[in-house]
C-alpha cells in the first residue's frame, strides 16, 4: 500500500492530524528551515557547525580484516562533501566475534592507519567544500553485535519471544560476567585506537538489540550485569570510567541508545512483560521512559556529552526504528501508518530532550518524510524537541541533502529516499548496502547480483 501521497506540506500536515500524529509538525518557510538548520550546536567542549547529522549507516563493505574498503571510502567521501557537520561513523566492531557480518568494520592495531587515512580524507574533502573542518564532528560507533554476531550469537539474557524469532534454544548459555568484564576492556582498547586514528568522539552503541542494548533490558539476568537498573547500567558506566582513566577528556563520549525496544512484531506476549528496555510492562507496545531517564542521568554524571536516540530493532520490529513505505522483500507490511512511527520517534526524543535540555540529542526516524524531513527537523529544533536532525536512509539516497537544506531550505523531491528498503534487502542478502534506486552507479550492479543470488539459493 502506498502511504506517501502528499503533494504539499499542508496535505502532509493534515494527514498527521488525521492519523493522530500529534508531534509531527513542520517549519514551512524555507528561510526559517535554512536558518534553523544552519545553527551551530555546542557539544561538550566542541562546536558543531550546523544542526544536521548523518546517522550511522553501515555499508557491510569492509574487508575481511575490518578495514574500510572501496565502497566505504566512497560513502564517506560523499557524506564529507554533503554539508552535514555531524557525520556519525557507522557500527565498528570492537572484537572479531562481535561483528554482525563478515564485512562489518572492525578497528584493530593493524588497521588503525586505514581508519586514520579515511578520516583525514573526510576532513580534507569537507574543508575543501565547506571552508573548514574544525567544526565537523565524527563520532565512531563502537559495537558488539551480541545476538546478531556471526558466526556465533552471544546473548545477554533469554527473552523467550526474541529467542523464538532467532531460533535460540532456552539452554543456550548467556555471556558470563567475567567475559563481560573483559569485553569492557575491549571497548576501551578500541576507543584508544579510535583516538589514535583521529576520531574526537566515540559512541558506545546501545541500540537495536545488539549486546549493550540487550543488557539494558536484562531484567531477568542474574549476577552483576542483570536485574536492578544499577546492574544493567554497569557495563556502560564501567566502560566510560575506564575510558576516562585511560584517555582523560581527550575523547568526547556519545551514546546511541534505544529509548524503547517494543516487542517482536506479531508475537503474542503475556503481561507483565518482563523483558526489554523502555517498555511499559503492563503494555509493552507503549514506552515507559522512567528508567531511560535514570540511565541518561547516570550516563550524564559519568561524562556522556551527546546522545542519539533510536527505537526498536531492525530484526524483530523494523517498522518501529525506520518507518517505511515498503518492507524489504519477504518482510511484513507496515502494520501502522508510517506517520504513527514518525510520531513515536518525535514524541520520545522530545520528552527526553526536554528532560535534559543541556544534553544535545540527535533525533531519528525522519527519512519517511522525504523532502519534508528538513521541515520537520527545523520545527523540532526550533521547538527545543531535539538539537540535531538525524538523517539515515535519506543520506544514502541523497548524500548532499544538507547542501540543499542549508542553501535553499528545500530538498529536490526527485533525489529523496522513498523508503523502499532496497538498502536493507542488500544487507539481509549479505551484499554491500547502499541505495540502488538513487545511486545506480554504486549499487545498480550489486542489486542485480543480490537478486540473482537470491534466485539461485
Ligand atoms: C542500511 C542501513 C544501515 C544501518 N546501519 C546502522 C549502523 O551502523 N548503526 C546504527 O546505529 N544504525 C544503523 N542503521 C539505522 C539508521 O541509523 C537509522 O536509525 C534508521 O535508518 C532510521 O532513520 P531514517 O528514517 O532516517 O532512515 C542502519 C540502517 C540502514 C537502513
Ligand atoms: S534503497 Fe534508497 S530509497 Fe530505498 S530505503 Fe534505502 S536509501 Fe531509501
Q: What is the pLDDT of residues 21-56, one digit of tens each?
A: 999 999 999 999 999 999 999 999 999 999 999 999
Give the nearest ligand 2 atom to 439 CA.
2
Candidates 325, 367, 369, 393: which one to mutate for ligand 2, based on the most atoms within 8 Å of Cβ? 393
CATH architecture observed for domain 9-417:
Alpha-Beta Barrel (3.20)
- The confidence band for 117, taking pLDDT boundaries of 50, 70 and 90, is very high
Query: CA-CA distances (angstroms) from residue 58 to 62, 189, 378?
Result: 10, 21, 26
Place of cell 503492563: 282
Among the bound ligands, the one closest to the CA of 415: 2
Q: Is the pLDDT of residue 328 over 90?
A: no
Q: Is the pLDDT of residue 141 over 90?
A: yes
Give the nearest ligand 1 atom to 207 CA.
11
The response to whether residue 423 sits with its C-beta less than 6 Å from ligand 2 reads yes
Residue 87 CA, ligand 2 centroid: distance in Å:
19
Query: CA-CA distances (angstroms) from residue 457 to 332, 451, 453, 454?
Result: 21, 10, 6, 5
pTM, 2 dp: 0.98
Residue spans of the domains in the chain: they are 9-417
Candidates 55, 371, 417: which one to mutate for ligand 2, based on the most atoms within 8 Å of Cβ? 417
Among the bound ligands, the one closest to the CA of 422: 2
Q: Is the pLDDT of residue 2 over 80?
A: yes
Give the residue, by CA position, lying nearest to ligand 2 atom 2: 435
Q: Is the pLDDT of residue 456 over 90?
A: no
* Cell representation of residue 1: 500500500
Per-residue pLDDT tens over the stretch 341-367: 999 999 999 999 999 999 999 999 999
Q: What is the mean pLDDT of residues 206-211?
A: 98
Q: What is the DSSP string of 275-306?
A: -SSSEETTEEEEE--HHHHHHHHHHHHHTEEE
In angstroms, the CA 333 to CA 347 distance is 23
Give the per-residue pLDDT at 278: 98
The response to whether residue 427 sits with its C-beta less than 6 Å from ligand 1 reads yes
Per-residue pLDDT tens over the stretch 62-91: 999 999 999 999 999 999 999 999 999 999
Best CA proximity match to 39, nearest among 138, 123, 135, 139: 135
DSSP 8-state symbol, 359: S
Mean of per-residue pLDDT scores for the chain: 97
The response to whether residue 396 sits with its C-beta less than 6 Å from ligand 2 reads yes
Residue 332 CA, ligand 2 centroid: distance in Å:
17
Question: Residue 252 forms beta bridges with which residues?
Answer: 201
Residue 57 CA, ligand 1 centroid: distance in Å:
5
Among the bound ligands, the one closest to the CA of 442: 2
Give the residue, by CA position, lying nearest to ligand 2 atom 3: 417
In angstroms, the CA 135 to CA 37 distance is 14
Per-residue pLDDT tens over the stretch 304-325: 999 999 999 999 999 999 999 9
Q: Is the pLDDT of residue 1 over 80?
A: no
Residue 417 CA, ligand 2 centroid: distance in Å:
5
Candidates 55, 420, 428, 429: which one to mutate for ligand 2, based on the most atoms within 8 Å of Cβ? 420
Q: Is the pLDDT of residue 270 over 80?
A: yes
Give the per-residue pLDDT at 330: 82
Residue 69 CA, ligand 2 centroid: distance in Å:
21
Give the residue, by CA position, lying nearest to ligand 1 atom 18: 392
Is the sign of the CA dihedral 296, 53, 383, 413 positive or negative?
negative
Give the per-residue pLDDT at 209: 97
Best CA proximity match to 262, nearest among 319, 218, 307, 204: 319
The response to whether residue 321 sits with its C-beta less than 6 Å from ligand 1 reads yes
Give the per-residue pLDDT at 35: 98
Per-residue pLDDT tens over the stretch 156-189: 999 999 999 999 999 999 999 999 999 999 999 9
Q: What is the DSSP string of 119-164?
A: HHHHHHHHHHHHS-STT-B-EEEEE--GGG-SSS--BSS--HHHHH
The response to whether residue 416 sits with its C-beta less than 6 Å from ligand 2 reads no
In angstroms, the CA 123 to CA 434 distance is 22
Q: Is the pLDDT of residue 291 over 80?
A: yes
Q: What is the mean pLDDT of residues 287-294?
A: 98
The response to whether residue 419 sits with its C-beta less than 6 Å from ligand 2 reads yes
Contact assessment for residue 403 and residue 444, using Cβ atoms and an 8 Å cutoff = no
In angstroms, the CA 270 to CA 261 distance is 16
Contact assessment for residue 410 and residue 371, using Cβ atoms and an 8 Å cutoff = yes
Amino acid at each position: 500500500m502506498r502511504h506517501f501521497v502528499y503533494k504539499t506540506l499542508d496535505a502532509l500536515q493534515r494527514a498527521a492530524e488525521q492519523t493522530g500524529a500529534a508531534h509531527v509538525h513542520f517549519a514551512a518557510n524555507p528561510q526559517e528551515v535554512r536558518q534553523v538548520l544552519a545553527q551551530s550546536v555546542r557539544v561538550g567542549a566542541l562546536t558543531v557547525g550546523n544542526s544536521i547529522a548523518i546517522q550511522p549507516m553501515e555499508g557491510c563493505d569492509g574487508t575481511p580484516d575490518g578495514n574500510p574498503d572501496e565502497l566505504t571510502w566512497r560513502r564517506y567521501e560523499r557524506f564529507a562533501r554533503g554539508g552535514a557537520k555531524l557525520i556519525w561513523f557507522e557500527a565498528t566492531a570492537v572484537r572479531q566475534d562481535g561483528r554482525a557480518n563478515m564485512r562489518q568494520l572492525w578497528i584493530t592495531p593493524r588497521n588503525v592507519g586505514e581508519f586514520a587515512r579515511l578520516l583525514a580524507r573526510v576532513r580534507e574533502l569537507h574543508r575543501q567544500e565547506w571552508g573548514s573542518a574544525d567544526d565537523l564532528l565524527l563520532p565512531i560507533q563502537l559495537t558488539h553485535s551480541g545476538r546478531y554476531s556471526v558466526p556465533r550469537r552471544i546473548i545477554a539474557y533469554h527473552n523467550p519471544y526474541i529467542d523464538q524469532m532467532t531460533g535460540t534454544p532456552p539452554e543456550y548459555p548467556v555471556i558470563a560476567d567475567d567475559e563481560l568484564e573483559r569485553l569492557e576492556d575491549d571497548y576501551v582498547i578500541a576507543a584508544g585506537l579510535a583516538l589514535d586514528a583521529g576520531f574526537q568522539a566515540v559512541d558506545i552503541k546501545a541500540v537495536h538489540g545488539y549486546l549493550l542494548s540487550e543488557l539494558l533490558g536484562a531484567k531477568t539476568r542474574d549476577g552483576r550485569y542483570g536485574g536492578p537498573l544499577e546492574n544493567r547500567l554497569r557495563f556502560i558506566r564501567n566502560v566510560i570510567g575506564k575510558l576516562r582513566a585511560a584517555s582523560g577528556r581527550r575523547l568526547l563520549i556519545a551514546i546511541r541508545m534505544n529509548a524503547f525496544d517494543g516487542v517482536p512484531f506479531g508475537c503474542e506476549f503475556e503481561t507483565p512483560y518482563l523483558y526489554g528496555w523502555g517498555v511499559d510492562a503492563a503494555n509493552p507496545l507503549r514506552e515507559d521512559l522512567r528508567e531511560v531517564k535514570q540511565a541518561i542521568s547516570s550516563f550524564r554524571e559519568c561524562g556522556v556529552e551527546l546522545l542519539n536516540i533510536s527505537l526498536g530493532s531492525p530484526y524483530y520490529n523494523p517498522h518501529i526504528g525506520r518507518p517505511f513505505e515498503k518492507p524489504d522483500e519477504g518482510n511484513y507490511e507496515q502494520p501502522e501508518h508510517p506517520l504513527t512511527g514518525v510520531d513515536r520517534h518525535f514524541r520520545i526524543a522530545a520528552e527526553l530532550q526536554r528532560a535534559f535540555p543541556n544534553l544535545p540529542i540527535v533525533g531519528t526516524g525522519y527519512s519517511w518524510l522525504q523532502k519534508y524531513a528538513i521541515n520537520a527537523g527545523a520545527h523540532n529544533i526550533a521547538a527545543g524537541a531535539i538539537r540535531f536532525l538525524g538523517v539515515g536512509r535519506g543520506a544514502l539516497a541523497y548524500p548532499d541533502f544538507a547542501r540543499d537544506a542549508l542553501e535553499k531550505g528545500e530538498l529536490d523531491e526527485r533525489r529523496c529516499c522513498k523508503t523502499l528498503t532496497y538498502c536493507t534487502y542488500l544487507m539481509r542478502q549479505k551484499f554491500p548496502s547502499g541505495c540502488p534506486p538513487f545511486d545506480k552507479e554504486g549499487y545498480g550492479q550489486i542489486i542485480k547480483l543480490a537478486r540473482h543470488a537470491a534466485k539461485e539459493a
